[in-house]
Amino acid sequence: MDITNFEIAVRLVLALVLGGLIGLERESMGRPAGFRTHILVSVGSALIMIMSAYAFSDGFTGRYDPGRIAAQVVSGIGFLGAGTIMREGANVRGLTTAASLWTVAGIGLAVGSGFYFPAVLATFLVVLTLVVLNQLEWNYLSTKHEIMTLLIQDTPGQLARVFAVLAKYDVDVFNVELSSDDAGEAKLDLEVEISQKYSRVKIIEDLVSTPGVKRASYM
């Protein structure tokens, strides 16, 4: 069974587009595996599937299973996904990105084998899950806490100024850890829950512009 160069090009370009759509969402969330990574995984998976299905079939008289090479993609992508998973204290981040990479590999395999409709439908469902269900999870289901770290001047009234900014954005504080040094500075670790109504970037900018706050970040 032969495949034309045009059809090969169509499959690879479609894999690029579908993988890129999912990668764009991950990139917008600032994840380590974003736009280009998802494209590479999708296109690479499609190419491997094309090679597995067509490259070794001509003139081969023995038993041939085109799924054996493609099956290694699913196993191999686990190593790439593991690189996106990070543990921060009691929290584990990157599981969704790892799952999206694994799914993109499946989409690439589907495109490479010519199953266009399942690939397009799967891409739509994945984007729907990442964008729409993410908001539903945060608004109605999520009780996740984040760690906010600040470097502040160790002066009277400094904590009050910090908490005044947090109160303006309806930030709930569950735990406070303060450690001072001899240089007149203090490290402030806050376990917080932040409403999705407000931008995290805006909160950080407001905190940094507060007198006595030298640095602020999320973990």
pLDDT in tens, 168-186: 888 888 888 888 887 888 8
User: With contact defined as beta carbons under 8 Å apart, do 22 and 108 qualify?
Assistant: no
Q: What is the CA radius of gyration of the chain?
A: 24
User: Residues 49-55: contacts with CB within 8 Å, 24+ apart?
Assistant: 49/73, 49/108, 49/109, 49/110, 49/111, 49/112, 49/113, 50/3, 50/8, 50/11, 50/12, 50/112, 52/112, 53/3, 53/112, 53/113, 54/1, 54/2, 54/3
The dihedral region occupied by 172, where left means phi > 0, alpha psi between -120 and 50, and beta the remainder, is beta
Residues 48 and 126 in one domain: yes
pTM comes to 0.60
Q: How far apart are CA 45 and CA 164, in angstroms?
A: 51
* Burial category of 38 from C-beta neighbours within 10 Å (exposed 0-12, middle 13-18, buried 19 and up): buried
39 vs 14, 100, 104, CA distance in Å?
A: 10, 12, 8
Clarify whether residues 38 and 126 are in a common domain. Answer: yes
Distance CA 8, CA 54 (A): 11
Out of 91, 109, 141, pick the residue that ends a domain. 141
120 and 199, same structural domain?
no
Q: Are residues 73 and 171 in the same domain?
A: no
What is the model's pLDDT at position 138? 62
If pLDDT is split at 50, 70 and 90, which confidence band does 56 have?
low
* Nearest alpha carbon to residue 99 among 133, 136, 70: 133
Whether residues 76 and 169 share a domain: the answer is: no
Residues 131 and 166 in one domain: no
* Co-location of 193 and 108 in the same domain: no
| Structural domains counted in the chain | 2
Q: At which of 141, 171, 196 does a domain end?
A: 141
Res 139: pLDDT: 64
Residue 8 burial (10 A CB sphere; 0-12, 13-18, 19+): middle
* pLDDT given for residue 137 in this prediction: 67
**pLDDT at residue 105 greater than cutoff 70:** yes
Structural domain that includes position 201: 146-218
Question: Does one domain contain both 84 and 173?
Answer: no
pLDDT cut 90: percent of the chain above it: 26
Residue 63 pLDDT: 61
If asked whether residues 189 and 210 sit together in one domain, one would say yes
Give me the CATH number covering residue 181.
3.30.70.260
Same domain, 13 and 55: yes
Task: Tell me, yes or no, whether 130 and 162 share the same domain.
Answer: no
Reported as a pLDDT band with limits 50, 70 and 90, residue 90 is very low
Query: Which class for 85: exposed (0-12), middle (13-18), buried (19 or more C-beta within 10 A)?
Result: middle
* pLDDT tens sequence across 146-175: 888 899 988 888 888 999 998 888 888 888
- DSSP SS3 for 218: strand
